[in-house]
Each structure stands twice: as C-alpha cells, then as structure tokens.
Amino acid sequence: MAEPSGRPDHAFSDAQRHGVYRAIHERRDVRAQFLPDPIPPETLARLLDAAHHAPSVGFMQPWDFLMVDNPEVRERVHRLFLNANAKAAECHAGERGQLYRRLKLEGILESPLNLCITCDRSRGGEHVLGRHSIVETDLFSTCLAVQNLWLAARAEGIGVGWVSILDPTELAGILGLPASVYPLAYLCLGYVSDFPDRPELARAGWRQRLPLAERIHGNGWGQPMDSPALMTALDALESRR
C-alpha cells in the first residue's frame, strides 16, 4: 500500500513487521515444555537488554533482575507455590476444581533458569515525573519490561512462564528483597520442546479468548464504534486465523 503523500515511511519492512506480530501472537505462558539446555550468556544478555529498554513513566526504570539458579532457593520457591496453589484450588469446586488440579501451572524446577523481575517503588525519588496522579505507574512500567523480555524470548525460541501463584511477601523474604522492592514477576525461562498453537488454558478448556470486536467501545463505555471500516478489518483478521 502506497504511503500518503507527505508522510515519511517509518514502517518496518514486511518481513520485519511480520516478525513482530508473530512474536506477539505466538508468545505463550510455558509451564510443561521446558528442556534442560542452558540459555547461552549472549542470548540471555539480549533478553535482559530488551527488558531494560522498556518505557517507564518519568524514565524511572524501577526494575531489577534477580537470576535464580540455586537449586535450594528454587526448592523453597516451589514449596511456596505448592502452598499457595493448594489454597487457590479450594476456590474451585466440582468439575472446575478437578480441572484446576490437573493444570500444570509452573515450571520452577524444570526450567533451566528462574528470573524474578522486581519493582523498586522508591526508584526516582519522592516526586517522579508523571506519577503524581497514578502512583501505580511504577508497577505498570515494570510490566512493560516483562513483556519486552517475553517477546524477545519468543523471537529467540525461548519459553517463558509467569508463576503468579506465590505469596509476594514470602517470596520477598526468600529472595532477601529490601522493603521498597516488590517481586512483580517470577518467571521460568528455557528452551522448549514446542510452543503450543493456542494458550494452555484455552487448550485445557479453562477459558477462551474473548472476541476483540466486543471489547471495543466508542467515546464512552458501552457505546458502539462508528467505524464500519474498522469492524470490517477486524472481521477480516479473525477470518484469516
């Protein structure tokens, strides 16, 4: 498609653009497919560099990266998961509860590397530009670092799994975090035998992806989008999947 007259073409090439969208759509939360092969230092450095280049409000860069490869530390984190998961399982009864207990929800011991991405809530001082009204922007910014790392990992053929069933206070104690540092994401990293074609929870029948067209509002919650062309484009994307 020709660019409109007068607008510079800053777009990636077709191949580069395809790679970006492929990483987005093929990224998976990996739990069960890890291989024992270690991640080469050069590759790991690229992943961390990608995470460190995430945007952050006020350029506060609140993240730190804790590499966890000590078996004893990982065993302690795994026990923490087991305790939290047992409590979470009590929330689901009947067939839903049986399905929950069958789900593989972490790869703490199987993955060759665990990585905790933390958020230092004191980073940048008392007054961070852009944070006055929404103090949680430090957490949001750290989530962007997680996503950067995740997409870069997919491009490198490396799986990532986020272990969210952990008590953050107890996890902070295991990792010896300062009081101002929050353990935002505990991740399992490693090469995998395969990347599932669909998210694990969708394949297991736990929950399916919601239709995008039903999640779009126009100028107010619940108001329709007055753009037939956009809706047609969304339908075209969906029909190609």
pLDDT on residue 5: 65
Q: What is the pLDDT of residues 24-53, one digit of tens each?
A: 999 999 999 999 999 999 999 999 999 999
Please state the pTM of the whole predicted model. Answer: 0.93
pLDDT on residue 177: 98
Domain limits of the chain? 26-208, 210-240
Tell how far CA 90 is from the center of its chain.
Answer: 26
Question: Using CA atoms, how far apart are residues 160 and 168, in angstroms rounded to an integer?
Answer: 19
pLDDT at 1 over 70: no
pLDDT on residue 49: 98
Q: What is the pLDDT of residues 133-186, one digit of tens each?
A: 999 999 999 999 999 999 999 999 999 999 999 999 999 999 999 999 999 999
Which residue is listed with tokens 């929330």? 91
CATH of region 26-208, choose from 3.40.109.10, 1.10.1040.10, 1.10.15.40, 3.40.50.20: 3.40.109.10
pLDDT on residue 7: 83
Pair type for strands 181-191 and 113-120 = antiparallel
Mean pLDDT of the residues in the chain: 95
Residue 109 half-sphere exposure toward CB, CA atoms < 13 A = 10
Q: What letter represents residue 158's amino acid?
A: I
Q: What is the pLDDT of residues 74-99, one digit of tens each?
A: 999 999 999 999 999 999 999 999 99
Instruction: Report in angstroms the alpha-carbon separations of 210 from 89, 99, 207.
Output: 24, 20, 9
Instruction: Report in angstroms the alpha-carbon separations of 72 from 76, 79, 109, 175.
Output: 6, 11, 10, 12
Q: What letter represents residue 201's amino acid?
A: L
